[in-house]
Amino acid sequence: MFKKIDFSPGKVIWNHFDFDPSLPLNDNNFFLTEDMLFVTYPKNLRIDVSWINGIKKFIVVVIQGDEAEDWDTPLFEKRCKNLKELEAALLEYTGIIRTMLAKGK
């Protein structure tokens, strides 16, 4: 899944999107977990995607750093109700990260 997304120069640490995207998300509930996708980048940047069952949405965050407060104050955050929105958010955030890295931030 997400073959259209170029995560470079990031490294995909895990990708747990191993379910049938043609089925409604509710039919894939067994495969939806809090830890869905994690990508690390230079400059201590990270993209993290989680499924939050209580709100039935994906949460995509971009953080910079390893400390707990970095996770509490992400640089960017979006809530996505479906895979199309999630893919759009990932495309946006990978582009932003590449721009940040090119500018040396």
DSSP string across 28-70: GGGG--S--EEEE-GGGEEEEEEEETTTTEEEEEEEESSSHHH
Tokens of residue 71, six digits: 């996770």
Q: pLDDT tens digits for 78-99? A: 999 988 899 999 999 999 999 9
Contact residues for 73 (Cβ-Cβ < 8 A; gap 6+): none
Whole-number pLDDT of residue 17: 81
Return the top range by mean pLDDT from 3-7, 22-26, 50-54, 86-90.
Answer: 86-90
DSSP annotation of 26 reads G
Give the tens place of pLDDT for each residue, 46-67: 999 998 888 889 999 999 988 8
- Kindly list the domain boundaries of the chain, sorted by start residue: 11-102
